[in-house]
Amino acid sequence: MPDFMAQLRALTAQSAKMLEVCILTCARTSEVIQMQWSQIDWQKSRWVIPGKEMKRLAADIPLTDTVIAILRDIKEARWHDKYVSGLKAVSTSADQTAM
């Protein structure tokens, strides 16, 4: 796994960065695709997903320094003002093709 992650980290594509975030947070693909900048608590290094986005209960996901660094790089690249992935919310059937 370390070799795979090193190879993934070397890629600069949007999909590679989002896949890395998906792996490191153990979040569902659809959740990562729909991640919004407003859900990131930079001070506490947390990703807070409201209950309405999670089928019922809210999620409070801790973010490692690595994930924070990836998110900062993405923010600087300005993929999208609202969605971290640069994609608008997508249906579940499209999740596999988006990444």
Q: Is 32 exposed, middle or buried (0-12, 13-18, 19+ CB in 10 A)?
A: buried
Q: Is 95 exposed, middle or buried (0-12, 13-18, 19+ CB in 10 A)?
A: middle
pTM: predicted TM-score of the whole model, two decimal places: 0.81
Q: Which residue in the block uniquely carries the two structure tokens 């070799």?
A: 3
DSSP 55: T
pLDDT level of residue 40 (50, 70, 90 thresholds)? very high
Q: What is the pLDDT of residues 4-27, one digit of tens each?
A: 999 999 998 988 999 999 999 999
pLDDT level of residue 53 (50, 70, 90 thresholds)? low
Q: Are strands 40-41 and 59-62 parallel, antiparallel or unpaired?
A: unpaired
What average pLDDT is seen over the chain?
A: 86
Query: Tokens representing 76?
Result: 């600087």
Three-class SS of residue 27? coil
What per-residue confidence (pLDDT) applies to 78? Answer: 84
Q: Which amino acid is at 99?
A: M
Give the phi and the psi of residue 40 in degrees, each rounded to 5. -90, 125
